[in-house]
Amino acid sequence: MTVTEHPASSNEYEGLPTTSPIGAALDWKWLRGAKSEWGVKPKPGPRGLTMMDIAVGSYGDVPDNPPHRSMAPRGADVDPDTPDMGYILNKKSDVWADNVVELYEEAVARQWSATRDIPWNELPELPSDLEHAMCQVCTTLTEVEMIASDLPAKWMWRMNHDFIEAKMFLCTQIMDEARHAEVFRKRALANGGGLLMSRGQSEGLLRTILEAKTYTQATALMHLLGEGFILDIFRMGELISPSPVEKRMFRMAMQDEARHVAYGTMHIRYAVEQDPDVAEEIHEALDHGEAVLTAFGTNQDFGTALAVLLGGGVEHVETKGFPLQIELQRKQFSSYLARCERAGISRLHRTKLPLDLLGIDPNTVLAN
């Protein structure tokens, strides 16, 4: 980087007006007295000027405990009279993840449109049972996806502005999830089937996530548990999609969901590394969340619709659909437990999930 002389060190700006045209006092501090790293200049990389590129000098230093609770940009010369915004998430460990800046850049680069990027005009007419099943799955997904928008919106205004990169990433998550709700709603309606059943098990899980006492507990419930389970369904898109249109839809949603889960996993890891006492709070939230998720798993509409899609029709639901659905649940449970391990929260011998019903041995989860 090249450091040049700050203009304030010369007499170039002497003799400036001391009052504005309406009589207000002028100090011109921004021009000849602000504390800044004048001359600290980032260099654009092959992808342009990224958030990683501008993390230069003190501007890239994210404090563990910010000195201010204002919306002033990190690194600015903050007026001592700046009011307190009342933030309650004022520790870096409350919101941070070491991968959050890279995930933000990825999110910006990989935005897609539920209007233009899904080939809706290629959607074929389906047999009635498959159309009903896809509409039911999309009804449930439309219902549950917006929780991952509502939850960040609940907490973002409480986050210290010095953690701007985390807030920016959560903004992309809000947009992602709005797009997911859009695309699944569109698919439910696109072939004339429409929105079908909504039952209480879904709402119970969503309310549990929204009512979490802390942001870190909420993140564990949403990213480790809820979105992690949905991610595995998206990854099964090749098996549950009757046509290339649905395959494209699930593939695009999957790339977004994977980012969200990656942030949540690494945030939990960072929080626990910085304060090991947080681990028990997360465990308590997951104890309750797993019990509620098990109830959600009894949602017969979503479960049987998935089985029909996996089986290729109602005539194969018992011989093919239900066995593949059990395999999906095994994958979901095993992936969740492995995700918790990566986050530094071992649930192998504490989980409330019915591993025995699926024949899962917790001692072999990490080996698979």
- Written out in words, the top-level CATH class of the domain with range 95-367 is mainly alpha
- List Cα–Cα distances, 48 to 40, 42, 44, 52, 110, in angstroms: 18, 11, 5, 11, 15
Q: What number is the average pLDDT over the span 288-310? A: 86
- List Cα–Cα distances, 100 to 97, 104, 262, in angstroms: 5, 6, 9
* 20: DSSP letter: -
Residue 206 has pLDDT above 90, yes or no: no
Please indicate, yes or no, whether the overall pTM of this predicted structure exceeds 0.85.
yes
Residue 3 has pLDDT above 50, yes or no: no
Instruction: Tell me what percent of the residues of the chain surpass a pLDDT of 70.
Output: 95
User: Angle at Cα 74 formed by Cα 68 and Cα 78, nearest 5°?
Assistant: 55
Residue 100 has pLDDT above 50, yes or no: yes
The two three-digit tokens of residue 182, written as one number: 């859009």
Q: Are 263 and 247 in contact (CB under 8 A)?
A: no
List all residues 6 or more positions away from 336 whose beta carbon is below 8 Å from its beta carbon.
224, 225, 228, 229, 347, 353
Please report which confidence band the pLDDT of residue 96 belongs to, taking 50, 70 and 90 as the band edges. Answer: very high
Delimit the domains of the chain by residue range. Answer: 95-367
Please report which confidence band the pLDDT of residue 6 belongs to, taking 50, 70 and 90 as the band edges. Answer: low
- List Cα–Cα distances, 335 to 340, 350, 351, in angstroms: 9, 15, 13
Q: How many CB atoms lie within 10 A of CB 161?
A: 16
List all residues 6 or more positions away from 272 whose beta carbon is below 8 Å from its beta carbon.
278, 279, 282, 343, 344, 345
In this predicted model, what pLDDT tens digit does every residue of 324-365 receive, in sequence order? 999 999 999 999 999 999 999 999 989 988 888 888 887 777
Q: What number is the average pLDDT over the span 294-319? A: 89
Q: What 3-state class would DSSP assign to 10?
A: coil
User: Of 91-95, 161-165, 237-241, 271-275, which range is least confident?
Assistant: 237-241
pLDDT of the residue at 7: 55
**134 vs 306: CA distance, rounded Å:** 8
pLDDT of the residue at 293: 84
pLDDT of the residue at 13: 82
List all residues 6 or more positions away from 340 whose beta carbon is below 8 Å from its beta carbon.
224, 286, 346, 347
Of 90, 229, 233, nearest to 166 by C-alpha is 90
pLDDT of the residue at 298: 64
